[in-house]
Amino acid sequence: MSTSSEYATELEIACLTVQRAARVTKSIIAAIEKDDALDKSDNTPVTIADFAAQALIISALHAAFPDDGFIGEETAAVLRQDAQLRDRVWDLVRSAHLDDPDSDSRLAKPDTVEEMLSLIDLGGNGQGGSEGRIWVLDPVDGTSTFMKGQQYVVSLALLENGEQKLGVLGCPNLRLDTPTRGRVRENVVDRDGLGQMIFAVAGQGAYIRPLGPGGLEPASRLPRRDDSELRPSDIRLVDCQASNSTDYEKLSRVAARLGAPWPPVMDIWSSQMRYVALAVDYEVNSQVRIVRRQSHRSSIWDHAGGMLVANEIGCKVTDLHGNAVHCDRGRTLAGSCGIIAAPESVHGDILRVVSEVLAESPSL
């Protein structure tokens, strides 16, 4: 990708800050694996990782782009009430760095505990909207699998007037030393390195690079998927069967009518990692999310950025009714119900069958 292309500065800062945050979160994983390092009886490790990563990401971006807004999953309310937890997060934030001095110098960090808390709240209190530039982040997408040392994502996306412009997905445990099928698995973990980063800029393609300890590693372009000859029976779904918000009875009927395998051939907890799977693992090619409750709307940080990556590798992303997924309605995808992310050649087939199944027991 040319360094003179549109959003080049934003992309470089975004990639560097995700790399720094990913390194911090992976250090927590290493501590979890030491018996006496962290209390594993509650969610303290992932709580610390969430807060530290959000503070670090927003600090770097707010310093570089002071007029931009933020939407993040966390607020600092818990830290303001728990001094011990606050001190542990502050220690982690204060010690965070990249090994390359030039790269590290480009990323601001909070100077005080109060500044750290205020930066966290910039994201946690952010409301989004249809105007201006807004950074959407999930410091640890996949908290349950993070605690198990499995797959998770440090995700970041830039919205401009409600449109996705860039997305960066840091995958600290993603190991890709196998062929192009069956690469993404919860238990296939990069224990020797820092994983992979997948990123995209609207209209400029999707890319992958190794996550490193210092400056950014060289990136290579991910090919657009050549799925023009796919038939409905060739659909291979990635999903999460442990999700309590997905209607698997309806989804199983969709798969049966398409002639696609059931259950889904890949089961991944992290929402953002499912988009990563579409980009790097040719065992799967589609994601369909039919929600149980009509009122359910997904958090924007679970999909922003990942949807852009899917678009840039040749997938069409809509809601269950074939409408564009809106990112301009605040902290959720309020205008959109469910997700269909699939190659253009079969997206229409999936949409047709989903519509039939929903019509038989209308609730959405």
Strand order in the sheet with 205-210: 69-72, 133-141, 153-160, 163-171, 196-201, 205-210, 220-221
- 240 assigned to some structural domain: yes
Active site residue 50: yes
**Lowest-confidence region among 84-98, 178-192, 251-265, 335-349:** 178-192
pLDDT value at residue 42? 58
Task: Find out whether 316 and 309 touch, Cβ atoms under 8 Å.
Answer: no
- Candidates 17, 143, 145, 318; catalytic one: 143
Residue 182 lies in a domain: yes
Helix axes 113-124, 83-95, angle to 10 degrees: 100
**3 is a domain residue:** no
**299 and 201 in a common domain:** no
> What average pLDDT does the structure give for the chain?
93
Per-residue model confidence (pLDDT) at position 37: 45
- The pLDDT > 90 percentage for the chain reads 84
Give domain status of residue 35, yes or no.
yes
Mean pLDDT within 44-59: 95
**Whole-structure pTM over 0.75, yes or no?**
yes
Do 151 and 181 lie in one domain? The reply is: yes
> Using one digit for the tens of pLDDT, what is the confidence trace for 157-170?
999 999 999 999 99
Supply the range of the domain harboring residue 100: 8-221
Q: Please state the rounded mean pLDDT for residues 109-119.
A: 98
Residues 126, 19, single domain; the answer is yes
Question: Residues 339, 316: one domain?
Answer: yes
176 and 298 together in one domain: no
Q: How many residues does the chain have?
A: 364
Instruction: For residue 254, tell me if it sits in a domain.
Output: yes
Q: Is residue 60 in a domain? A: yes
The single residue of 17, 25, 47, 50 carrying the catalytic annotation is 50
Half-sphere exposure of 37 (CA within 13 A, CB side): 10
Say yes or no: 18 and 166 in one domain: yes
Burial call 207-239: b when 16+ CB within 10 Å, e when fewer: bbbbbbebebbebeebeebebeebebebbbbbb
Instruction: Considering only CA atoms, give the Rg of the chain.
Output: 20
Bin 161: left if φ > 0, else alpha if -120 < ψ < 50, else beta: left
Secondary structure class of 309 (helix, strand, coil)? helix
Residues 311 and 167: beta-carbon distance below 8 Å: no
pLDDT beyond 50 at 36: no
DSSP string, 85-112: HHHHHHHHHHH---SSHHHHHTS---SS
Same domain flag for 241 and 181: no
End residue of a domain, out of 186, 221, 256: 221
> Residue 333 sits in a domain of what CATH number?
3.40.190.80
The Cα–Cα gap between 142 and 150 comes to 9
Average pLDDT (9-38) is 85
- Count of domains for the chain: 2
CB atoms within 10 A of CB 182: 14
Same domain, 176 and 253: no
Residue where one domain finishes, among candidates 166, 192, 221:
221
Tokens representing residue 283 in the block: 């065992």
Q: Give whole-number Cα distances, 28 to 3, 33, 61, 140, 146, in Å.
A: 33, 9, 23, 12, 10
* Across 325-349, average pLDDT: 94
Q: Give a yes or no: residue 226 inside a domain.
A: no
- The Cα 248–Cα 241 span in angstroms is 8
Q: What is the mean pLDDT of residues 297-302?
A: 94
Q: What mean pLDDT is predicted for residues 279-307? A: 92
The structure tokens listed for 279 are 């980009």
Q: What share of the chain is helix, strand, coil (3-state, %, to 5)?
A: 40, 20, 45
The predicted model gives 110-134 an average pLDDT of 96
What pLDDT, on the 0 to 100 scale, is given for residue 228?
85
Q: Are residues 88 and 193 in the same domain?
A: yes
Verify whether residue 180 is a known catalytic residue. Answer: no
Domain-embedded: residue 22: yes
Please check whether residues 217 and 242 belong to one and the same domain: no
pLDDT band at 297 (very low <50, low <70, confident <90, very high): confident
Last residue of a domain, one of 221, 250, 274: 221
Rounded CA separation 13/10 (Å) = 5
Q: Is the pLDDT confidence value at 142 over 50?
A: yes
Q: What is the pLDDT of residue 90?
A: 98
Report pLDDT for 3. 57
Q: For residue 77, how many other CB atoms are within 10 A of its CB?
A: 12
Burial of 7 (0-12, 13-18, 19+ CB in 10 A): middle
Contact by Cβ (8 Å): 340, 317: yes
Tell me, what CATH number does 150's domain have? 3.30.540.10
* Judgement on whether residues 12 and 143 belong to the same structural domain of the protein: yes
Determine the average pLDDT of the residues in 215-225.
96
| 189 and 237, same domain (yes or no) | no
